[in-house]
Structure 1
């Protein structure tokens, strides 16, 4: 049940995120749906490839595809004056999606008895994969590579689950809340990893 709830939260969050980025780039309605779907399911597809799950397993998620389509439709029909606050709400949806999918990916790998390293990789790829694909298709530099601390929180989630520190649903939901809050704090206060520049300013 925890896995399904987190999958649903992540699917909605990333579908909305992808749809809004597409609308910012002035894509047509087909482009909005494509970018929303790719953002919601791209990370899971990459994860499946690397941990040995057939990519075709994604097609068994009919309910989640319907949820994603409904979420994208709702965003497309949303009043424009409310969408102007995308920078605020978009970052929040992105943080929720990152947290939900990172935990879901880690649970997936852990249940397959993969080692800690694979659990962490699954968490990172599921958490950030869709966002990277979204940004690349939108012609943007991926936020995970240039902005505030992002993938670190997915690594943290994967490590905690891989080490079996969490053992029940409530602990996983608590972890979800903590990772989401840490991501929100990182963009609110502009926390960044060290950068080494090759050119003098």
Structure 2
């Protein structure tokens, strides 16, 4: 049940993120669908390749494909629905997808008995993979390469879930909300990790 909820939340959020970016770039309807589907399911495909799960398992998610299609269609017909995102360039929906999918990725790897390193990698790739592909296709600098902290937040579910500390339904929801809140705060307050240039 937890798996399905996280999957649903992440899929809807990333589908809307893809739609918003596509409409900002003035893509046609087909471009909206392509960008939305890739954003919603790209991270799961990358994760599956990493931890040894057949990519073909993605095609077993018929219900989620239908939900994503309906959400993208409604958002395209009624674009004002996705304009209340608080932040531009799909950051709000992307943050929700980051939180839900990073927790889901860590939980997936943990349930398969993989070590914590795999849980961290699965959390990072599931949470950022779809958005990375979306930004590349849209000709944008990927969000995880922006100055504001992004991919580092996936370490939280990767470590906490990977070590088996918090794996209950309510606990996982709290982790999702923490990642979402931290990601939005990092954009709003412009939090950055230390960096250094070679002179």
TM-score (norm 1): 0.94
User: Which residue in the other structure is 2:114 paired with?
Assistant: 114
Q: CA–CA distance in 1 between the matches of 2:75 and 2:132? A: 21
Q: CA–CA distance in 1 between the matches of 2:64 and 2:83? A: 27
Q: Does 1:95 align with 2:95?
A: yes
Aligned pairs (5 A) from 1:39-188: 39-80=39-80, 83-84=82-83, 86=85, 88=87, 90-188=90-188
After superposition, the C-alpha distances for 1:105-140 in whole angstroms (9 at most, x for unaligned) are 011100110000001000000000000000000000
2:123 and 2:154 in contact (8 A); partners too? yes
> Any stretches of 5+ residues in structure 1 without a counterpart?
none
Corresponding residue SS for 1:88: coil
After superposition, the C-alpha distances for 1:58-112 in whole angstroms (9 at most, x for unaligned) are 00000110111111111101145x6555562722111110000000001110011
User: Which residue in the other structure is 1:191 paired with?
Assistant: 191
Corresponding residue SS for 1:113: coil
Q: CA–CA distance in 2 between the matches of 1:167 and 1:156? A: 13
Q: CA–CA distance in 1 between the matches of 2:86 and 2:168? A: 34
2:13 and 2:93 in contact (8 A); partners too? yes
> Any stretches of 5+ residues in structure 2 without a counterpart?
none
Q: CA–CA distance in 1 between the matches of 2:198 and 2:20? A: 34
How many residues were matched structurally?
Answer: 198
Q: 1:147 to 1:54 in 2, by over 3 A?
A: same
2:16 and 2:82 in contact (8 A); partners too? no
After superposition, the C-alpha distances for 1:12-56 in whole angstroms (9 at most, x for unaligned) are 000000011011111111000000000000000000001000000
Q: CA–CA distance in 2 between the matches of 1:71 and 1:167? A: 29
Q: CA–CA distance in 1 between the matches of 2:142 and 2:155? A: 17
Q: CA–CA distance in 2 between the matches of 1:111 and 1:186? A: 30
Q: CA–CA distance in 2 between the matches of 1:186 and 1:43? A: 22
Q: CA–CA distance in 2 between the matches of 1:17 and 1:109? A: 25
